[in-house]
Amino acid sequence: MRDLIRNEIKEYVLESKENWLEEIQDRYFDEPIVKFASSEDPLFEEYKKIIDIDHLTPKEAFESFFGKDSYEGGTVISIVLPINEKIIKSNAAKKDNASKEWALLRAFTDGFRIGLNKHLVNFLEQKGYKAVAPADLEEFKIYSTLSGPSSNWSERHIAFAAGLGTFGINDGFITEKGIAIRLTSVVTNLTLIPDIRKAESHTENCLLFRNGICGACIKRCPVNAISKDGHDKIKCWKYVYGDESRKLAEAYGGNSAVGSGCGLCQTKVPCECKNPTAIFP
């Protein structure tokens, strides 16, 4: 069943006609990486302390849709959507703001992610299981905290639980296909063997955390939102989704409501398309 699910997701991403950007004559997203976490993993409860008490456990997400006491355990399916190299290169060439291709990707991602989630939920239902995409629930929220925006279903933390990678100094999630990615996930009552989380810390894939070298993303940020002390989410948020970003998105023919994004810290960096620490023993 693990392979069946993986293949279904791969096929959807690679064969979807929507997954096509005219400007590069190629796909927005390359072949996805799919991994599985047990919904019983104690880490999901720990996220209530690490992130916020309001962060949903898989059980809470499932039951908010299917009703109280409807969940008896199962699996969280976490998906990495690697960004096409041509889009990454276009953003790597930029110094002050997002490239046109990156902004169009920003406009495209939410709809594609929702379509993929629905497809996976339907696929599981046809096999006799129930499933839900927490980030598409009415209960999903993005809210302000003193340190910046947060959400009650953090895809990066879900991906960490599934063993897909770890965080960088800039908060970005670094996978085997690098940091220039998008993430999505689905919770199901189908029980599968979970993937093993090999990382010894939640920052292992970042060169700066691992051995004190790098910091390339610090230099790339146009608004100095990253330092050796971490990522200033408020500075980043103002730049990534502020007025200038909205105007830029409009000028590019993107979606001014969601802005252009930025992602300069995710391109032209050693962790762009790979896990840069994979070479270390």
Task: CB nearer to ligand B12: give 86 or 127.
Answer: 86
| The one among 226, 248, 249, 273 contacting ligand SF4 by CB under 6 A | 226
Task: CB nearer to ligand B12: give 122 or 144.
Answer: 144
Residue 120 sits at the vertex; the CA angle it makes with 52 and 8, to the nearest 5 degrees, is 125
Total residues contacting ligand SF4 by CB under 6 A comes to 28
64 binds, among ligand SF4, ligand B12, none (CB under 5 to 8 A by kind): none
**Amino acid symbol at 240:** V
Asked if residues 182 and 275 have their Cβ atoms less than 8 Å apart, the reply is: no
| The one among 79, 135, 162, 206 contacting ligand B12 by CB under 6 A | 135
Neighbours of 50 (CB within 10 A): 12
Token pair 């146009």 is at which residue? 222
| The one among 79, 87, 104, 206 contacting ligand SF4 by CB under 6 A | 206
Contacts of 155 (CB under 8 A, 6+ apart): 78, 135, 183, 184, 185
Q: How far is the CB of 209 from ligand SF4 (least distance, A)?
A: 7
Task: CB nearer to ligand SF4: give 61 or 216.
Answer: 216
Neighbours of 162 (CB within 10 A): 25
| The one among 31, 237, 244, 274 contacting ligand B12 by CB under 6 A | 237
3-class state of residue 256 by DSSP = coil
151 binds, among ligand SF4, ligand B12, none (CB under 5 to 8 A by kind): ligand B12
**Structure tokens of 250?**
């409009």
Task: For residue 4, count CB atoms less than 10 angstroms from its CB and return exposed for 0-12, middle for 13-18, buried for 19 or more.
Answer: exposed
Task: For residue 82, count CB atoms less than 10 angstroms from its CB and return exposed for 0-12, middle for 13-18, buried for 19 or more.
Answer: buried
- Residues engaged in binding ligand SF4 (CB under 6 A): 168-170, 172, 206-208, 214-217, 220-221, 223, 225-226, 231, 236, 239-240, 262-265, 269-271, 276
Q: Which residues bind ligand B12 (CB under 6 A)?
A: 50-51, 106, 135, 142, 148-151, 153-157, 160, 167, 170-173, 179, 181-184, 202, 231, 233, 236-237, 240-241, 261-263, 265-266
